[in-house]
Structure formats: structure tokens, C-alpha cells
Structure 1
């Protein structure tokens, strides 16, 4: 990823959390996800602001070198998430 991408990804406006996930193993080796970047925002409006930001376009340009390392394409998906605390039993 190089030293430039994580600081750039961390610069997205309203970002609460950044996770960079690398696949270690899968029960579907025919459909690999070598890298997943997950960002957490408080609201849908914050997501829209981040997607419209200059940081996103700079990130896309800088990430082109990363994409050359993998076969396939890049998928952008917005998820809604429920968070559960296993220690609380809920």
C-alpha cells in the first residue's frame, strides 16, 4: 500500500474509523477479496461528503498503483451496520 495511502484514507472528512483488511483464507478461493478498506461514518450525509471530497479523488488516483497488483476490479459499496457487544450478551 505504500506510506501514502493510509494517511490519505485517514484524511477523509468525518471519518470515525478506518480498517484495512487482507484476506488470509476463504471457503471460496475462486472469489478472493485480497484487500478490503472499511470506513465508518456517523451518518449517510457524512458518507456523501466524504465521497464528494477532494480526498476521495486524490485517493482514487494514488490507489491506481495498488490496483495494478491485483486481478479483477474495485467495488464500492455502502453498508448499514449493526454492532453487537459479545461481552454484554446482546
Structure 2
């Protein structure tokens, strides 16, 4: 499984945080959930960070079975619609976003010392 991640690096305009996340939920999440081949969608809102961390307001993760599925998703007619809606919501955001595609190794916790 592969995960395509969008890192939203920057800050939400002061006092508009709830509006930003409300618009993400109502305008963007329905589009993200419609992408072809997507297995799961996770929207992560930063609640705390190390003092010297870069300002990351949100992380979007979408899981896909393989790279072909991601390529098909990116070629989908939903993508331009999603991009336009994202640009509209980004008027509340000072910063930008970028994407990564990753493959995870899932480890089970070692509870012997717990």
C-alpha cells in the first residue's frame, strides 16, 4: 500500500481556524473521498508540535493499493474540481502545500517492558 500525503505548511489566518477546518470538512473532504482507487482518507489537524517544528497546520493522507492507482487518481476528472476547491479554502491560509508518496512498514509495539 502507498500513501499520498499533502503537507500544509504555514499558518491559518488568526481567528479563522474553525472556519478553515469547517470548509475543509464541507468542501474538500467530500471530493477527496470520491477519488478513484482511494482506500482511506485521513485529515490530521495539528494539535501540538515541538517548539522548533515547522508550522504544519494540517496533513492529508490518502491510501492507495499501488502507484498505478495513484496515477489514475491524479488523472481523474475530480482532480481539477478538488484543486479549485482547495485554492478557495487556501485563501484562509498563509503558506502552501506539497505532496509525498510513501510506503509504510507497520511495527507492532513491544510490550515486554510495559
Is 1:52 matched with 2:70?
no
Q: CA RMSD in A?
A: 2.1
Aligned to 2:38: 15
Report the TM-score, using the length of structure 2 for normalisation: 0.69
Greater per-residue strand proportion: 2
Runs of 4+ displaced beyond 3 Å = 85-89
Question: Higher Cα Rg: structure 1 or 2?
Answer: 2
Alpha-carbon contact 1:23-1:32 (below 8 Å) kept = no
Work out whether residues 14 and 46 of structure 1, in 8 Å CA contact, stay in contact via their aligned partners in 2: yes
Count of residue correspondences: 89
Unaligned runs of 5+ in 1: none
Structure 2 gap ranges (5+): 1-23
Larger RCO, structures 1/2 (Cα 8 Å, 6+ apart): 2
Query: TM-score scaled to structure 1, two decimals?
Result: 0.85
